[in-house]
Amino acid sequence: MTYSDERGDYIWRYVGGRRVKIYLWQTLAEAMRESGKFPSAEIGSRFRVVGGKSIEVLKGQSLSEAMIASGKFPSMKKETPYDKLMGPEYTGVKGQAAIDKLLEEKRGHVKGAFSRKGIGDIDVLWGDDTFGLQHIINRRNNEGFDGESFVRELPNVIRNGQIRKQSDGRFAITLGDVRAVISPELRDNKLMFLLTAFELG
């Protein structure tokens, strides 16, 4: 995914387990140097040509790691922690069907499962213990309620609830005594998604 700011278009890459912002006009070594996350000894690089494509290989980096980091070999794409959180994408399902699909699979996500004026498309993720359906179900179960039944009621809340934008940029959608929280970001990635839901009071 490509992002933009006042300096131009950029992408995020993991290099040696560290997240690096790389402008499309920069070399990887320049971005690493600018990030301040790498000692200068780690930044030395050389170039290799693989399949007619010039690849920058950093000091201590294998050729295959450099090929993945270059983004020029999509078939070699390494799964990032963010990719693991997202899991597989399920298509052709919206609303209640999207919730039901994620409850069945217990992994993955559905893009644009819901849409609300003032928010736009809302993705739903299975998630983990800190966000998404898994988080909501576990939280309700721990409170002595049926988490899956609670989650199955969320489409009605998201479709018909009152929307309020919070000071942190999130959206609260409230219907009766149930509130769903929609977040515009997941781990520094732009993504409008169902973060959590709970009963008020």
Determine whether 169 is exposed, middle or buried from the number of CB atoms within 10 Å of its CB (0-12, 13-18, 19+).
exposed
Per-residue pLDDT tens digits of the chain, which is 201 residues long: 788 888 888 888 887 778 889 888 777 777 887 888 876 645 556 666 677 777 777 666 666 677 767 777 665 555 567 777 788 999 999 999 999 999 999 999 999 999 999 999 999 999 998 899 999 999 999 988 999 999 999 999 999 999 999 998 999 999 999 999 999 988 778 889 999 999 987
Check whether residue 94 and residue 185 sit in a common domain: yes
What is the number of structural domains in the chain?
Answer: 2
Domain coverage including residue 133: 85-199
Check whether residue 116 and residue 44 sit in a common domain: no
pTM over 0.85: no
Name 193's Cβ contacts closer than 8 Å, sequence gap at least 6: 109, 122, 123, 124, 125, 131, 132, 182, 183, 186
Check whether residue 38 and residue 122 sit in a common domain: no
